[in-house]
A and B are shown apart, each in its own frame.
Chain A
Amino acid sequence: MKRLLFALPLLLALIIGGFAIWGLSGGRDPSALPSVLISQPVPQLDLGPVEGVATPGFTTDDLVEMDGIKLLNVFASWCGPCRAEHPNLTRLGAEEGLTLIGVNYKDKPEAAAKWLDELGNPYAAIGSDFSGRAGIDLGISGVPETFIIDAEGVIRHRFAGPVVGDGLRRFMEALDEVRQ
């Protein structure tokens, strides 16, 4: 019995070490927040079009009626990473047959229009969120963020940050999961 007590420090070290290894490995991002919106219907949004852009705005009902998987992408012309991920999203929309919906977050309409002219406009609808309220309803912490919405209009995945490089790989994994 006494002998067993001497093994206690070793056991404690193993437990703490185990947690340390678990915490440091596997590419976990400790600052990534779980979204409460996963497996929830898209919150009620009613966003008008961006002034000077021909693409219509949208409401949540419009979004639910659209066929197939949709990517709800929150972007802004002032956001550098949005520019970086834009070609990837455009390609995903065209090659994978996904509908792209944009939320133009806290952006000047003329700047957004110029940005879309320059980079191309792959969006089926773009809602203007000048006040940032739709962003709060979606629980975003910054731009860009992309939500994967399934055919039934349920949010299946929230992706914070640009869909580039390793992010693109993780995004594709999430997309494959939603498709199954």
Chain B
Amino acid sequence: MIRAGILALGIAALSTAAFAVEPDEVLSDPVLEDRARAISANVRCVVCQNEPIDSSNAGVARDLRVLIRERLVAGDTDQEIYDFLVLRYGDFVLFKPPFKPSTYALWLSPFAILLIGGVAVAVSLSRRPRKPASKDTHLSAEEETDLAKLMKEDTSL
């Protein structure tokens, strides 16, 4: 009983975030509608900023959804629609920033850090002795003298 209640609450909590796309916006052509949904999931709402326009209730987000659908019906490609939006709102509206000189640092720095880490690991591994110590490994003459000296000093043993 309690479990069912929790489940119902959970479902209710999830459903509040669901579709902002209103029925009157939906296109009759399911292929175009799917493309519209895919595009609007990639476009940031400029009012709420961390929400795609697909799930935003802001007025501008709705306008943009309607506009994307109009352009799809008019025969625009997905790229043309993205270009149209970027021209007006900048790269910021795309959740996935484009790969260009001003974003090289953004895209490449993770790989650079990985490379630095990899080099550091490789260097520290190569400095270690190749073989781990075993019964057959012997101390060097220098180490033997050091050891003898220590043993002599510590008489409690």
Contact = CB atoms under 8 A, between A and B. Distances in A.
Interface in B60-119: 60, 63-64, 67, 86-90, 92
A136 B87 contact: no
Interface of B: 46-47, 49, 59-60, 63-64, 67, 86-90, 92
A35 B90 contact: yes
B59 A36 contact: no
Interface stretch (A116-124, A137-145, A170-178): A137-145
A140 B93 CA distance: 12
Interface in A92-142: 106, 131-133, 135-142
A34 to B, nearest CB: 6
Nearest to B44: A33
A31 interface: yes
14 contacts: A33-B89, A34-B90, A34-B92, A36-B86, A36-B87, A36-B88, A37-B88, A133-B63, A135-B63, A136-B67, A136-B88, A139-B46, A139-B90, A140-B60
A135 B49 CA distance: 17
A141 B88 contact: no
* A: interface residue count bin: 10 to 19
Given A136-B67, A141-B47, A142-B47, A33 B60 contact: no
B59 A139 contact: no
Contacts of B64: 136
Given A136-B64, A139-B46, 18 more contacts: A33-B46, A33-B89, A34-B90, A35-B90, A36-B88, A36-B89, A131-B63, A132-B59, A133-B63, A135-B60, A136-B60, A136-B63, A136-B67, A136-B88, A137-B88, A139-B90, A141-B47, A141-B60
4 A-B pairs closest in CB distance? A36-B90, A141-B46, A139-B88, A132-B63
Contact of B59 (A33, A35, A106): A106
Contact of A33 (B63, B67, B87, B92): B92
Contacts of B46: 33, 139, 141
A139 B67 CA distance: 14
Nearest to B67: A136
A130 B60 CA distance: 13
